[in-house]
Amino acid sequence: METLSYEIVINAPAQKVWDILWGPETYSEWTQFFGAGSTVMKSDWKVDGKTYFVDAKGDGMVSTIDNIDEPNQIIFKHLGMVKDGVEDTESMEVKQWSGAFEKYILIDFDGQTKLHTEVQVEKNWQEFMNTGFTKGLEVVKKLAEESR
């Protein structure tokens, strides 16, 4: 597993950045770079609960929240895949990366926010994540700064 990290400074308060990241109206805007249809996040917002990152068909990843401290931090732990409505947390393919973390840390600097993200991935997903996060975080910045 590789741990990749990304940072961007946004001229907006942490709560505004948080709302852009996880708001149902804006989530699909910044996640579009992770692939067509990667547009829905469904969560119970509870530690050890269920969070789904899925496309329009409902296929994608099933995760849990390992830690949440709104608007300062959220850490997701990926558990498996969802395909045709069925969760897979036991196949050999899934077990190779199950337990990988995805972290979002928001640090307030007098009204500006440093957004730091980390994601654990297998090496063959590195370019995909680099593109998704680099372009996606620019959209987060643009949306948060425009709506100040």
How would you classify residue 112: left for phi > 0, otherwise alpha for psi between -120 and 50, otherwise beta?
beta
Rounded mean pLDDT, 90-100: 90
Sorting pLDDT into bands at 50, 70 and 90, what band is 124?
confident
Question: What pLDDT is stored for residue 35 in this prediction?
Answer: 67
**Is residue 106's pLDDT more than 70?**
yes
Residue of 6 and 37 predicted with greater confidence = 6
Measured between alpha carbons, how far apart are the two ends of the chain, in Å? 38
pLDDT tens-digit profile of 40-49? 789 999 999 9
Higher pLDDT, 142 or 93: 142
pLDDT > 90? residue 32: no
Q: Is the pLDDT of residue 112 over 80?
A: yes
Highest mean pLDDT among 51-55, 59-63, 71-75, 86-90: 71-75
What residue segments make up the domains of the chain, in order of their start? 2-146
pLDDT higher than threshold 60 for residue 148:
no
Class of domain 2-146: alpha beta
Q: Residue 147: which pLDDT band, with cuts at 50, 70 and 90?
A: low
Segment (H or E) for 88 = strand 86-88
Distance in angstroms (rounded) separating the CA atoms of residues 96 and 119: 15
